[in-house]
Structure 1
Amino acid sequence: MRHHGALVVRTLGRMDGTDARIIDLLRADGRAPYGRIGEEVGLSASAVKRRVDRLLAQGALQGFTIRGGRPAADTEIQAYVEIFCTGNVATASLRRILEDIPEVRRAGTVSGDADAIVHMVAPTIARLEAAIERIREAPHIDHTVSAIVLTDMFDRS
């Protein structure tokens, strides 16, 4: 997997030269209209969209991200939240719960006392608290332990 600007590219399956050129153009501008990309590669906008959809479905493109000019710590509240479950909870069940909470940016199961840990980002403490409460109210969740980020030192993603 390679990270190129705001585009996450994974070399999977066969890509032709047009696919590679489309990826290069998306690397340069992830928000470029398909019509403009089509002009560059000699395809219609709908043909470019079909290729991008196929590349996403195959996993060759893994998504598009937007990174703001200011660090999140300057504008948002971040927290790491450990999740403790009752009994054995399937990872898929826990994933469904967490995917429905937009403040959860990353989630993973972990070794140790906690069953999972999530990285959460919210615009206010009140929104963060409400999101954590949604986790606590979910089935099979016993309790959570939260740590609010005070200083965002660096991010290698």
Structure 2
Amino acid sequence: MDAVNQEIIRILLSDGRASFHQIGREIKMSASAVKRRVDQMVARGEIAGFSAVIDPAALGWETEAYIELYYKGNVRKPELERNLSAIPQVVGVWSVSGDADALVHVMAGSMSELEDTIELIRANPKMDRTRSSIVLSRVFQRPRA
């Protein structure tokens, strides 16, 4: 990816609603040239999609936690996806190095809903144990790729 495309992505991460005209003005390029570059990055999969960043509280998600999963034996990524994608409170899953097999990001409406979600995750017969860290407050979050 060249420096111009990196700059376009930086602008889009900062303001996903920036028009091609606004981006072009900032990087000294025509709106049509910016559009071509964005279209090419989408076609190559460098830009995977566009979405809105929503305040979790607006969706009723007042409780947030990161849960380390420890499985009995090995667990493969397709199994993680199959087991966890069906749980609406699970908003992210990562396969990680270290002692844990996976890290799960959970957003829930209450402590009770979080507890129910953790129990649902633990119900998997291959689950050995979990370790949870409840988020007390968000200090800052960078726009992410």
Structure 2-normalised TM-score?
A: 0.64
Aligned length: 117
Change (3 A) 1:154 1:100: same
Gapped regions of structure 2 (runs ≥ 5): 1-5, 18-30
Among candidates 63, 73, 80, match of residue 87 of structure 1 = 73
Change (3 A) 1:63 1:130: farther
Structure 1 equivalent of residue 107 of structure 2: 121
SS of residue paired to 1:127: helix
The residue type paired with residue 97 of structure 2 is: S
Change (3 A) 1:22 1:78: farther
Gapped regions of structure 1 (runs ≥ 5): 8-16, 25-50
The percent identity for this pair of structures is 38
Cα distance in 2 between the residues matched to 1:76 and 1:65? 21
Change (3 A) 1:119 1:60: same
SS of residue paired to 2:142: coil
Cα distance in 2 between the residues matched to 1:71 and 1:93? 27
Change (3 A) 1:65 1:76: farther
> By percentage of residues, which structure has more strand?
1
- The question of whether the paired residues in 1 share the 8 Å contact of 2:61 and 2:108 is answered with no
Structure 1-normalised TM-score?
A: 0.60
Cα distance in 2 between the residues matched to 1:63 and 1:124? 30
Root-mean-square deviation (CA, aligned residues, Å) is 3.2
Change (3 A) 1:23 1:134: farther
Cα distance in 2 between the residues matched to 1:150 and 1:123? 14
- The question of whether the paired residues in 2 share the 8 Å contact of 1:98 and 1:104 is answered with yes
- The question of whether the paired residues in 2 share the 8 Å contact of 1:6 and 1:67 is answered with no
Change (3 A) 1:127 1:6: farther
The residue type paired with residue 91 of structure 1 is: K
The residue type paired with residue 82 of structure 1 is: E
| Residues 6-50 of structure 1: per-residue CA shift (max 9 Å, x gap) | 47xxxxxxxxx98x64998xxxxxxxxxxxxxxxxxxxxxxxxxx
Counting only pairs closer than 5 Å after superposition, residues 17-56 of structure 1 correspond to structure 2 as 21=35
Structure 1 equivalent of residue 50 of structure 2: 64
Change (3 A) 1:91 1:75: closer
The residue type paired with residue 101 of structure 1 is: I
SS of residue paired to 1:107: strand
Change (3 A) 1:87 1:124: same
CA drift at 1:116: 0.6
The residue type paired with residue 97 of structure 1 is: N
